[in-house]
Structures are given as C-alpha cells and as structure tokens.
Amino acid sequence: MKKITYSTLTLALTMLATGCSDVLNQVPVSALTQSSFFQNAADAEAAIITGYDALQGDEVRYITWGDARADNLRVPVAEIGITDGNTLDFQNDNISTSSPYAPWSRFYNGINRVNNVLAQVPNIKSSTINSVKNRIMGEAYFLRAFNYFYLVRLWGAAPLVLAPTLSLDKDLQPARTPADKVQEQIIADLKQAETLLSVTYSTAIETRGRATQGAAQALLCKVYLWRSSYNQTNEWQQAADYAAKVLANGTYSLVSGANYATIFNTKNTSESIFELQYNYTNQETNALTSFFLPRSSKITTGGNQTVIPSQKLVDAFEAGDVRKSASIYYSSPATDQFPNLPTVAKYMGTVVGTTRYSDTNFIFLRLADVILMQAEALAQLGKTTEAAALVNRIRNRAGLTNTTATTKDALLLAIEQERFVELCFEGHRWYDLLRTGRVKAVLGVDKKALLPVYYTEIQLNPNLLPQNPGY
C-alpha cells in the first residue's frame, strides 16, 4: 500500500522536476530560427533562392507597367468589355493611390531577403561556404540592384534600405532617398556583382535563370542608358562599354530568324541573359497566360483577354517581318467567344494533353535588347555607322533589309521603332519612351512620370511624404 503511495508521489515529483524547463522550451522542428539558420553553405543557398522567388508573382505588373501604359497594348473596351477597371485606369493615366499597380511591397520583400543574405552569409563559419560565398554574395548584390532599379524607375525617390529587418525595435519608418543616390547604390551593387559572379552555372536553366556576370553587365548597360537619357548624366560610353562586354561573351548569341518564336515558346534560348523561370512540374506558374489568352466560347477554359495588341503595333511590323506572327495571332471563330481579335502570342504556356499550364518564362534581359541599347549609346556618341550595323543585325535576323537611317536623329528613331516591334510585351516600351522624353510625342498625350506611393504605405509611414507629383 505504502509503496503505491510513494510511487505516485515520486511520479508526481519527477514530473515536477523535469517538466518545467523542457516543456516551455519547445524548439521548432519543421522550421528554423535565427540561431539555427545561416550555419553553412546549404543554408546560404536556400536563402539566396528566396531572392528569385520574390520576383515571381509580379509578371502581370511587369507587363502592365512596361507595356500597357504605353501604346502596344489596349483594353478591348468596345469588343469585349472591361475585365479589370484598374488596367484601364492605369492605361488612361487615371491611377488612384489605391491602384493595385501602386504597391511596392514585393520589391522590398525581395530586398529584405537579399539584405539578410548580405548581412549574414559573411558570418557563416563553416568552411563549406568558401567555394560558393562569392557567387551567393554576387547574386544578392545583383538582386538588390535589380529591385531598386524597378523602384527608382517607377516611384523615383525610394527608401534605401540596406539592412535586413530582424526585430521590431529597428527604425521601421525610413524616409525616401533621392533617386540619384539610389542609382549610385544600384551601380555600386552591380559592379560588386560583376566581380563576384561567374559567367555560367552548371546547368542551362541556372545560367539563364540566375544572376551571372553577363546579367550584371547587361543591367549596368541599362542603368547607364537610363541615367544618360532620363537624367542627362551623359554616361553613354559606360553604357556602350558594358554592352560590348555582353556582346563579347560567348554564352549569348542571337537565335536565327526562323527560330525567333522559340525565344518565347521554348525556354532559355542562347539569346537569353536573365529569364525568370517557371515550370508547372515544380508547381511554379504565373498569371500571364490567362491575362492574354482569348475567352473561350465555353466557360471553363480560356483566358480573360484583359488586354490585346494595339492596331498601332500591328501596323508597325513591316511586311515580311518574321517577328509579327511570333508576337501576335488572331482569336479563332471556332473556339473563342470573341473571334478575330489580335492576341499576344509570347505567353502561351505549356500544353499537356487537354491541360494548359501557365508557365511561360518571363524574360527580363536578352541579347537583342543589349544590341539595341549599344546601338543607341553609340548613336548618341556619334558613332552612326557602328550603330546602324547593330540595328541591321536585328533587322536582318527578322528578315528585313538594312535600315535607311544614317543620321544620329534618324537612327535614334529607327532604334525606337526596332525596340517597339522586337521587344513588344516584354515590359520595355514605357521606360524607353519615358527616359527619352518621347511620351507626349509618341502617345499624343502626356502622362505622369511616376506612380503614386500606395496610400497605406503613407498611412503607416508619414516619413514617405510628400506624395509623388500629380497624386
């Protein structure tokens, strides 16, 4: 009897002694914490991957910002109706501070992730990091610059956050940094990235889908071109030099004219420099296919046809241009609710059996863009012959004859036209018109240069005031 009593008491007391501390210090098993992450190379690899992941999900906005605000896409109000009033408002420069095209949160999410890599990877003690450290730091610098370049082009001055948010005690309400200071940081980051990154990875998907030396150089070219034209910094030579480095890189070559469509309907061609990857087998898909795909006359299949190519763009293709059919097709009377409308052909997804997966890659940088950027820089520097030769490389590939332009001004217009048709629906047109000051001349109306800062951002951080002009 006594025994039972004592064992009960002992049991109770044992629980008492052991329970307390162990029970309250639960350690997560299926996730890591600040103290258990960033320990070795594998952690660093897993961390840098999230910087690319952050770029995914914004493809429709990349295109709306870059194309739908300009003149190569339109909302088919008369033919179909308005799928999304926000797209129409955006096109009409009637952008409210609560427009879904106004938040910048996705870029800062990506910036915070790579800031964490930049802050913590140098502290990793494991020797496994040695062989990959430079490349991972380079990727982080590249991605930070990449995000800030979107921010500075769309909103101008933006808070320049260079450290990760790891506690609520940190200053959570930064003020905006002038655009030129942000650009200086972008250039500094990209130059770091250029020295740290390698030219290729072991797989083609990574060579095209991750940051490389070539991608850093191509982006530097783009940044210098932007500054030279938009801010008149006269850095044409730097732009031309970085383009030359990319052109000299054997990793990149133009796809033949016959295979032009493969740039978009196969993945990672030789022309691609930085291409955001999707693959339905990895459950990574985007919203682009349904954004453009015709509405079916049946209800459950088909897309939204939110925007369609403008007539101006359709007419801009010269006769015999192989790029036209690779860029635009017409909806079918047999299967589509609204037949015979021009439709974007660059994002058709992957068809397996009866299922269409929306997983076309989104190309940020490709060689044709760099060639035309170099042509523009050289034309600005007065080197018209070299510039014309570069334009002709693009024209000849498309099955067209040499350009007739010879003067600097004529060449600049020829380059603008060539970029219009070559890079349509890839998110470039608006920035080209904006930086060259040609918005009003080309679109017929003036539009506000910058987007509004999203209204809740200002509510949560009054230091962001003043709001951008016009809002």
Partner 1 sequence: MNESLKQVGWVFLFLALLVINPKLMAHGTGGMALKAMSIKGTVTSETGETLPGVTIAVKGTTIGTTTNESGQYNLSVPDGNVTLVFSSVGYEKQEQSVGNKTVINVVLKADMKALNEVVVVGYGTQQRKDLTGSVGSVKGKELENLPVRGPLEALQGRIAGVQITNNSGAPGSAPNVRIRGVTSLNAGNDPLYIVDGVPITGDISVVNPNDIQSMEVLKDASATAIYGARGANGIIIVTTKRGKSGKTAINLSAYTGVMDVRRKIPMLDAYQERDYILNANANAGTQEVRLGLDTLFRNGVAVYNTNWQDEIYQQGAVSNYEISLRGGNDKTTYAASLGYFNQKGVVISSGYDTYRGRFSIDHRASDRFKTGANILLSTGKRDRVPEGDDLNAIIPNAMRNLPFSPVYNPDGSYTFLDQIQRPNPVGLAMLTSWFTVNNRLVGNIYGDYDLWKGLTLRSTLNIDYSGTRDERFTPSTIQGGSARPGTASYGDVFTWVNENTLNYSHSIGQHSFSGLLGYSVQESKSFNLSAAASQGATDNITTLNAAASPTAASSSKTSWGLVSYFARLNYSYNDKYLLAATLRRDGSSRFGADKRYGLFPSVSAGWRISQESFMRNIPIITDLKLRASIGVVGNQSISDFGSQGLYSTGSNYIGKAGIALSAIPNPSLSWESTTQSDIGLDVSLLNNRINLTADAYLKRTNALLLSVNLPTTTGFGSALQNVGNTQNKGLEFSITSQNIIGGANGFSWTTSFNIAFNRNKILSLSNNNADIIQTSADATFYGSAPQGLGRVGEPIGVFFGQRYTGRVYATSEEAKAANMRDGSASGPLYVAGDMIYIDTNGDGIINDADRTIIGNANPKHIGGITNTFTYKGFDLSVFMQWSYGNDIFNETREASNRSFVYNAATTEVLRSWRKEGDVTDVPRGTPSTIGRNGFPSSRWLEDGSYLRVKTATLGYTFPSALLKRVKIDNLRLYVSGQNLFTFTKYSGMDPEVNFRSSLPLLQGIDLGTYPQVRTITFGLNLGF
- We find the least distance from the C-beta atom of residue 189 to partner 1, in angstroms, to be 17
Query: With binding defined as CB under 8 A, does residue 78 bind partner 1?
Result: no
Tell me which stretch binds partner 1 (CB under 8 A): 228-236, 349-357, 371-379, 439-447.
Answer: 349-357
Contact 343, 327 (CB under 8 A): no
Tokens of 392: 């002709």
Out of 79, 162, 172, 256, which residue is the one contacting partner 1 (CB under 8 A)? 172
- We find the least distance from the C-beta atom of residue 252 to partner 1, in angstroms, to be 19
Tell me which stretch binds partner 1 (CB under 8 A): 22-30, 123-131, 416-424, 437-445.
Answer: 22-30
Query: With binding defined as CB under 8 A, does residue 237 bind partner 1?
Result: no
Tokens of 302: 């088909």
- We find the least distance from the C-beta atom of residue 259 to partner 1, in angstroms, to be 24
Give 23 or 319: the residue with its C-beta nearer to partner 1.
23
Give 75 or 225: the residue with its C-beta nearer to partner 1.
75
Give 12 or 188: the residue with its C-beta nearer to partner 1.
12
Please, which of residues 262-291 interact with partner 1 by CB under 8 A? 277, 279, 281-284
Name the H helices within 231-366: 236-247, 262-265, 288-292, 311-316, 323-327
Out of 76, 100, 164, 257, which residue is the one contacting partner 1 (CB under 8 A)? 164
- We find the least distance from the C-beta atom of residue 465 to partner 1, in angstroms, to be 13
Backbone angles phi, psi at 84, to 5 degrees: -140, 110
- Alpha-carbon Rg of the chain, whole angstroms? 26
Tell me which stretch binds partner 1 (CB under 8 A): 77-85, 132-140, 235-243, 439-447.
Answer: 77-85
Query: With binding defined as CB under 8 A, does residue 81 bind partner 1?
Result: yes
Give 268 or 327: the residue with its C-beta nearer to partner 1.
268
How far is Cα 207 from Cα 187, in angstroms, rounded to an integer?
A: 22
- We find the least distance from the C-beta atom of residue 99 to partner 1, in angstroms, to be 9
Give 98 or 253: the residue with its C-beta nearer to partner 1.
98
Count interface residues toward partner 1 (CB under 8 A). Answer: 90
Out of 123, 127, 300, 404, which residue is the one contacting partner 1 (CB under 8 A)? 300
* Per-residue mark of binding to partner 1, 86-125 (x: CB under 8 A): x-xx--x-x-x-x----xxx--xx-xxx-xx---------
- We find the least distance from the C-beta atom of residue 466 to partner 1, in angstroms, to be 16
Please, which of residues 26-45 interact with partner 1 by CB under 8 A? 26, 28-34, 36-37, 43, 45
How far is Cα 174 from Cα 18, in angstroms, rounded to an integer?
A: 47
How far is Cα 260 from Cα 254, in angstroms, rounded to an integer?
A: 9
Q: DSSP of 121-178, one letter per residue?
A: GGG--SGGGTTTHHHHHHHHHHHHHHHHHHHHHHHSSB----S----TTS---PPPBP
Please, which of residues 174-193 interact with partner 1 by CB under 8 A? 174
Give 175 or 258: the residue with its C-beta nearer to partner 1.
175
In angstroms, the Cα distances linking 332 to 34, 75, 108, 199, 309 are 55, 19, 42, 44, 16
Dihedral of the alpha carbons of 85, 89, 92, 97, in degrees to the nearest 10: -170
Contact 69, 90 (CB under 8 A): yes
- We find the least distance from the C-beta atom of residue 187 to partner 1, in angstroms, to be 21
233 CB neighbour count, 10 Å cutoff = 14
How far is Cα 414 from Cα 405, in angstroms, rounded to an integer?
A: 7
**Cα distance from N-terminal residue to C-terminal residue, the chain:** 85
Distance of CA 470 to the CA centre of its chain: 26
Out of 49, 132, 316, 443, which residue is the one contacting partner 1 (CB under 8 A)? 49
Query: With binding defined as CB under 8 A, does residue 20 bind partner 1?
Result: yes
Please, which of residues 191-220 interact with partner 1 by CB under 8 A? 205-206, 209-210
Tokens of 233: 């910094």
